[in-house]
Amino acid sequence: MVPNKQTIEDAHKRIANYVIRTPILRSAALDGIAGCKLIFKCENLQEIGAFKARGAMNAALLLRADDKTKGIATHSSGNHAQAVARAAKILGIKAYIVMPNNSSEIKRKGVKELGGEIFLCQPTQEAREQSLKDVIQRTGAAEIHPFNNYNVIAGQATVAKELLEDTSGLDVIIAPVGGGGLLSGTALTAKYFSPGLDVIGAEPQGADDAFRSMKSGKIERTDPNSIADGLLTSLGEKTFDIIRKEVKEIITATDKEIIEAMRLVWERLKIIVEPSAAVPLAVVFNSREKFLGKRVGIIFSGGNIDLDRACQLFSQS
């Protein structure tokens, strides 16, 4: 069932002891550049460095006792992999993570450090799904999908809930959109806890499937090409359905704009955000007139980027 007000409140209580209530930061300098008031919710400072810790934890806690015993499984090359491994570790159960064989060493290391068991596969959507199916058949583990799962969506919805509790008078919240778990959760929170508040999705131009899906009214696929590696997936049916109804619009940003926004965050806010997390701020800058004078909530989704890679991006920009 699509999460409602109670579901989101319950999710928030359920995960409270397992995730960080991340801080909110402000910057007069960035406000000056943007021409609006920016309120930053820092999920890059969340456990495992991303909001994904919330949804995976909520979904894992909601599994029935006998479903849990055989462990949990997912396929992911990124932050959700670590989120599932961490949830399993907390619950004392096994985590089986299918990862493409081109996923970075640092991400595999993160999963291993959390005790997750990794299954490498070819880096195609089909291979990932087939491998996951095989693993589940063999182990009996329960799947936790990275976004097309209402319990995951309810968990991600708690990010915006905290933002609304810790600030006031927001006109709009901007969240990045990949598979749509964070954006759909944010939109539901706005609907139930702050009716009238606009929610906007921010997407890389090189993976603008959500932007096109909103136009066409059906889920569009993408052949993604962007440095925002957390946002390369297409929407799922569950997330698209919510986003179509509750999200005002999707705005895209180029990779150049994303890197510039990322650099500004590092320099001015003194925090590390990954490219995917910088897309909402890039959107504020490239659509300046839309946000002039408003109070704009920005969700920094994560901070998982290899430092050498980041330095390379900055030196080229």
Our CB check for a second copy shows the closer of 62 and 282 to be 282
| Residue in this structure with the two tokens 């490219």, named with its chain if needed | 275
The number of CA neighbours under 13 Å toward the Cβ of 245 is 11
Our CB check for a second copy shows the closer of 190 and 298 to be 298
Buried residues in 32-60 as b, exposed as e (16+ CB within 10 A): eebebbbbbbbbbbbbbbbbbbbbbbbbb
Tell me the β-bridge partners of 25: 40
237 alpha carbon, distance to own chain's centre: 17
Tell me the closest approach of the beta carbon of residue 27 to a second copy, in angstroms: 9
Q: Which two tokens stand for residue 196?
A: 């009238």
Contact of 85 with 145, CB cutoff 8 Å: no
Our CB check for a second copy shows the closer of 43 and 208 to be 43
Phi, psi of 253 (to 5 degrees): -140, 145
Q: Which two tokens stand for residue 174?
A: 């901007």
d(CA 49, CA 223): 27
Tell me the β-bridge partners of 24: 41
Tell me the closest approach of the beta carbon of residue 270 to a second copy, in angstroms: 3
| Residue in this structure with the two tokens 């081109």, named with its chain if needed | 102
Contact of 253 with 204, CB cutoff 8 Å: yes
Tell me the closest approach of the beta carbon of residue 165 to a second copy, in angstroms: 16
Q: Which two tokens stand for residue 70?
A: 């055989």
Tell me the closest approach of the beta carbon of residue 46 to a second copy, in angstroms: 9
Tell me the closest approach of the beta carbon of residue 34 to a second copy, in angstroms: 15
Q: What amino acid is encoded at 121 in this protein?
A: C
Tell me the closest approach of the beta carbon of residue 242 to a second copy, in angstroms: 29
d(CA 174, CA 179): 15
Our CB check for a second copy shows the closer of 192 and 314 to be 314
Tell me the closest approach of the beta carbon of residue 35 to a second copy, in angstroms: 16
Our CB check for a second copy shows the closer of 180 and 303 to be 303
Our CB check for a second copy shows the closer of 266 and 285 to be 266
Binding residues vs a second copy (CB under 8 A): 23, 25, 29, 44-45, 49, 113, 263, 266-267, 269-273, 303-304, 307-308, 310-311, 314-315
